[in-house]
Amino acid sequence: KAGVTQTPRYLIKTRGQQVTLSCSPISGHRSVSWYQQTPGQGLQFLFEYFSETQRNKGNFPGRFSGRQFSNSRSEMNVSTLELGDSALYLCASTRTSGGQYNEQFFGPGTRLTVL
């Protein structure tokens, strides 16, 4: 079964631009979560979507937003990019939302560089 896929894998943007990242979960998985990984802050939770609804949100500014489509694919958007947004953005999918048995499956990530 195909794993979580993320596109693009690498992206270079300049300050002030906006960016959209895409995540396709494992077939049958309905929950998609997004994480940001930086050397300074480590892995931080951004938000989770389940059945096209945001279920949980981390402590990030409103410039970070996301959505989920009816086929469970998800996108996240970052507007007005700042240098500090340079990071590896990881997407994870699970079959349902919550639940002790919900192993999260992570994609390879999108490496965003802001110049």
- For other proteins, the binding residues (CB under 8 A) are 4, 31, 33, 35, 42-45, 48, 50, 55-56, 58, 90, 92, 94, 97-100, 102-109
Residue 8: cis peptide before it, omega within 30 degrees of 0 = yes
Classify the phi-psi angles of 46: left when phi > 0, otherwise alpha if psi is within -120 to 50, otherwise beta.
alpha
Q: How far is the CB of 53 from other proteins (least distance, A)?
A: 11
Min dist CB 97 to other proteins, Å, is 5
Task: State which residue, 20 or 104, has the beta carbon closest to other proteins.
Answer: 104
Do the Cβ atoms of 87 and 37 come closer than 8 Å? yes
Closer residue to other proteins, CB minimum distance, 4 or 76? 4
- Identify which of residues 66 and 109 has a Cβ nearer to other proteins in the complex: 109
- Tokens read off for 19: 């960016």
Q: How far is the CB of 58 from other proteins (least distance, A)?
A: 7
Q: In whole angstroms, how close is the CB of 81 to other proteins at the nearest point?
A: 22
For residue 56, the cross-strand partners are 48
Spatial distance between the Cα atoms of 13 and 68, rounded to a whole number of angstroms: 23
